[in-house]
Structure 1
Amino acid sequence: MKKGIHPELKPTTFVCGCGNTFTLLSTKGGTVYLETCNQCHPFYTGKLKLKPAFLVLQAQMEGKEEK
């Protein structure tokens, strides 16, 4: 690899809404918050769950329609 052209990789902690955390190398660094991960995503679990973020968005949309 050429020196000086690739971004620096830093340890980045990813935190899911279900409580799962994992650390990977990323150019971002710090902490990244996720809505879903492999332990809670319906595709991997086979169960359909409504996320709190979806419920909040749905409530906001319903409130706008009433006005």
Structure 2
Amino acid sequence: MKKDIHPKIHQTKIHCAGCNTDRITESVVSNINIDVCSNCHPFYTGTDRLLDATGRVDRFKQRASKSEQLRQQAKPKQPRTKSEQPDKTPELAESPVIESEVQPVEK
């Protein structure tokens, strides 16, 4: 076997933010932070737990209503009249075509 190809294994502290517990195990990383472990997960404990009162949909609706209010408060833009609108077609320079420069196409 080749030497020095395997990662170093050392003591690892796993911290659960849900129940604020620490566990010690062996791994290649030093610290692991998790949100839910088997001590506090509803599937393992059999209890219901309210994790987040305002979900992503509620926060999105709040932002959307706030932006709609700002849009209504803003001064509406006045449409441009035809004379104010810039001409979008470029002006083509009139250059005379010299017949000696035109080559006939053979088929």
TM-score normalised over the length of structure 1: 0.70
Q: Flag the structure with higher helix content.
A: 1
Deviations 1:32-51 (A, max 9, x none): 21111111111211112123
**2:24 is aligned with 1:28:** no
Give the number of the structure whose alpha-carbon radius of gyration is greater. 2
| Correspondence for 1:64 | 60
Q: Equivalents in 1 of 2:43, 2:3: separation in Å?
A: 40
Deviation at 1:19, TM superposition (A): 1.4
**Which sections of structure 2, spanning at least 5 residues, go unmatched?**
65-107
CA RMSD of aligned residues (A): 2.2
**AA of the residue aligned to 1:24:** T
Over 3 Å counting, the alpha-carbon distance change for 1:61 and 1:28 in structure 2 is farther
Tell me how many residue pairs correspond in the alignment: 62
Higher normalized contact order (CA 8 Å, seq sep 6+, divided by chain length)? 1
Over 3 Å counting, the alpha-carbon distance change for 1:6 and 1:23 in structure 2 is same
Deviation at 1:56, TM superposition (A): 7.0
Q: Equivalents in 1 of 2:53, 2:27: separation in Å?
A: 30
Q: Flag the structure with higher strand content.
A: 1
